[in-house]
Amino acid sequence: MNTPTGPAVPGSPGGPPDGSAAPGEPLLSVRGLKVHFPIRKGVLLQRVTGYVRAVDGVDLDVGRGMTYGLVGESGCGKSTLGKAVLRLVEPTAGTVRFNGVDVAGQSREGMRRLRRHMQMVFQDPLASLDPRQSVESVLSEPLRAHGFAGDRSRRVRELLDLVGLPAGAAARYPHEFSGGQRQRVGIARAIALNPELIIADEPVSALDVSIQAQIVNLLEDLQDQLGLTYVVVAHDLAVVRHVSDVIGVMYLGALVEEASSDELYAQPLHPYTIALMSAIPIPDPEVEERRRRILLTGDLPSPVDVPPGCRFHTRCPFRQPTRCADESPDLREMRPGRKVACHWAEEIAAGAIRAAASAHDPTATEVGTPSS
């Protein structure tokens, strides 16, 4: 789905960031990214007593015009990863390169200019929109801030048209819109400066199911028209499957599996992905009857206390003594385009290692379901 990048915003200073991207280099390249939030105790001294390892060593690449879907249970670090890419939170370690530019090396002004090219769409459109600002004002603000020299009202009307809202919407206020319309305003604001990358954090999970498809279709249409590159964060595997070229599955701050959308769904390789997939009902009644749900024992560990060895071993129905508890598996390329962080992925795929009986015990808990 490689598409050319969209045209520069007319009348706007500065084209694409002056990167040194090598030919074929992904638009976004993340290496060893960590975000550890310190936990402080004490009134005066504020001693650091530990760290929330929200993002704990992530590598990923997103090619131009592609959509990278990021899924995982609540609290696994998806939003923090998205924010760290845009430096809305400061990474503790690792690098983020955008179009060949080292994001961490940017000054405040450099970062301000770079953000024009990297925008975020949030889950709750109302929370991210100022209720006292009209839509005209919401959409004009980024144009003003980045010195857009053209006719701002005209650009606002153009943006409304792009996201399927009538020109009259400009004079209205966020609370006058439905959830789906507010998300359209949020998307219009994100594309106002013609960015290259959009990180959409749960863009449809606050919306009614009937509206979700409309917003997903809008994001896809805009991608085709404007040559956008997306990182889409979602709980909902169905949403991610529909829009993504590549999917990364996150568990406790790390990627445990990465594959093309079709391959991941055809054959999940990591035990955590296998459990996630086994929770999804299959529309075919005959296949559905044969579906075996893999249940996970034990609670989701805290990111303050990430288990040693394989971070999934405390809940993994396939775990083996003693390597799983002792040795941390790297995210490795098991076959071209398929990455997995499991010592035993080959044996599990071949059926030589099976899920423990307790994985089918009705007292065990279902893995955090996509829409939880």
Ligand X SMILES: Nc1ncnc2c1ncn2[C@@H]1O[C@H](COP(=O)(O)OP(=O)(O)OP(=O)(O)O)[C@@H](O)[C@H]1O
The answer to whether the CB of 346 falls within 8 A of the CB of 332 is: no
Query: Among 32-40, 161-169, 261-269, 312-320, which window interacts with ligand SF4 (CB under 6 A)?
Result: 312-320
* 275 near ligand SF4, judged by CB under 6 A: no
Length of the chain: 372
Q: Which is nearer to ligand SF4, 211 or 325 (CB)?
A: 325
Question: Which residue's CB is nearer to ligand X, number 52 or number 204?
Answer: 52
CB of 36: closest distance to ligand X in angstroms? 9
Q: Is 371 in the site for ligand X (CB under 6 A)?
A: no
**Could you identify the residue written with the tokens 């805290």?**
302
Q: What phi and psi values does residue 307 have, to the nearest 5 degrees?
A: -60, 145
Which residue in 7, 64, 58, 194 sits closest to 116, CA to CA?
A: 194
Separation CA 32–CA 28 (nearest Å): 13
Stretch that binds Mg ion, among 65-73, 76-84, 126-134, 253-261 (CB under 5 A): 76-84
Give the footprint of ligand SF4 on residues 335-364 (CB under 6 A): 342-344
Could you say which of ligand X, Mg ion, ligand SF4, none residue 51 binds, taking C-beta under 5 to 8 angstroms by partner kind?
Answer: none
Residue 97 or 319 with smaller CB distance to ligand SF4: 319
Q: Name the CA dihedral angle for 166, 171, 177, 183, rounded to a multiple of 10 degrees.
A: 70
Q: Which does 342 bind (CB under 5 to 8 A by kind): Mg ion, ligand SF4, ligand X, none?
A: ligand SF4
Helix (H) or strand (E) holding 296: strand 295-296
75: contact with ligand X by CB under 6 A: yes
Pick one of 215, 318, 338, 364: the residue that binds ligand SF4 (CB under 6 A): 318
Q: Does 312 bind ligand SF4 (CB under 6 A)?
A: yes
Q: Which stretch binds Mg ion (CB under 5 A): 71-79, 89-97, 174-182, 273-281?
A: 71-79
Q: Pick from 282, 273, 275: which is nearest to 331 by CA? A: 273
Determine which residue in the list 5, 12, 29, 79 makes contact with Mg ion, applying CB under 5 A. Answer: 79
Taking each helix axis from N to C end, the angle separating 135-145 and 179-191, rounded to the nearest 10 degrees, works out to 20
Which residue, among 171, 163, 166, 164, has the nearest Cα to 140 in the 3D structure? Answer: 171
**Can you tell me the distance from the alpha carbon of 171 to that of 175, in angstroms, rounded to the nearest whole number?**
12
Q: What minimum distance in Å lies between the beta carbon of 281 and ligand SF4?
A: 24
What does 324 interact with, of ligand X, ligand SF4, Mg ion, none (CB < 5 to 8 A by kind)? Answer: ligand SF4
Task: Give the Cα separation of 174 and 353 in Å (integer).
Answer: 54
Task: Give the 3-state secondary structure of residue 41.
Answer: strand
177 binds, among Mg ion, ligand SF4, ligand X, none (CB under 5 to 8 A by kind): none
Identify the residue among 26, 63, 69, 77 touching ligand X (CB under 6 A): 77
Q: Is 87 exposed, middle or buried (0-12, 13-18, 19+ CB in 10 A)?
A: middle
CB of 250 to ligand X, least distance (A): 7
Contact footprint for ligand SF4 (CB under 6 A): 271, 310, 312-313, 316, 318-320, 324, 329, 342-344
